[in-house]
Amino acid sequence: MPAQVCKEHTASAHRLPTADTAVADGSARNRSPGIMTCVVHDGVPAQLEIRTGTHRIVSLAGRTSADELGLEPGMAAITSVKSADVVMELPQQRR
């Protein structure tokens, strides 16, 4: 089965949600509003891509979940990142 290629998709700023936009349900605190730029349903997991600010986030989700949400390029969406551990490191300074 050939892989689907994502095409760049842009949306006008008035469609963007804000970080304070209410969500249906969730407990994650690291939220970023953005626009869905790619949704690929080629396999069991769906590949999702969202642009949020200057960042591009790619994630895999169950195909059924992606279908039930009706995800499509151009839709406003909010990413939520929840992790048990996040490690921040600084590069070693040269002396």
Q: For residue 14, give both structure tokens.
A: 């008035």
Is 65 within a domain? Answer: yes
pTM for this one?
0.61
d(CA 50, CA 52): 6
Is 11 within a domain? Answer: no
Domain count for the chain, please give it: 1
d(CA 90, CA 86): 14
Is 59 within a domain? Answer: yes
d(CA 40, CA 63): 9
Is 75 within a domain? Answer: yes
Which residue carries 């290629």 as its tokens? 5
Is 38 within a domain? Answer: yes
d(CA 87, CA 36): 27
User: Which burial class, exposed, middle or buried, applies to 16 when counting CB atoms under 10 A from its CB (0-12, 13-18, 19+)?
Assistant: middle
User: For the segment 44-93, what is each residue's pLDDT rounded down to a tens digit?
Assistant: 899 999 998 888 988 888 888 888 989 889 999 888 877 767 677 888 77
Q: Which domain holds residue 59?
A: 30-79
Which CATH number belongs to the domain containing residue 60 in this structure? 2.40.50.100
